[in-house]
Amino acid sequence: DPHWYTFNIADSGIVVGVGLLLFLQWGEERKQKRATCEH
What are the angstrom distances between the C-alpha of 2 and each of 11, 14, 26, 33?
14, 18, 36, 47
3-state SS of 6-30 is HHHHHHHHHHHHHHHHHHHHHHHHH
* Predicted confidence (pLDDT) per residue in 1-39, tens digit: 666 677 677 888 899 999 999 999 999 999 999 888 876
pLDDT at 18: 95
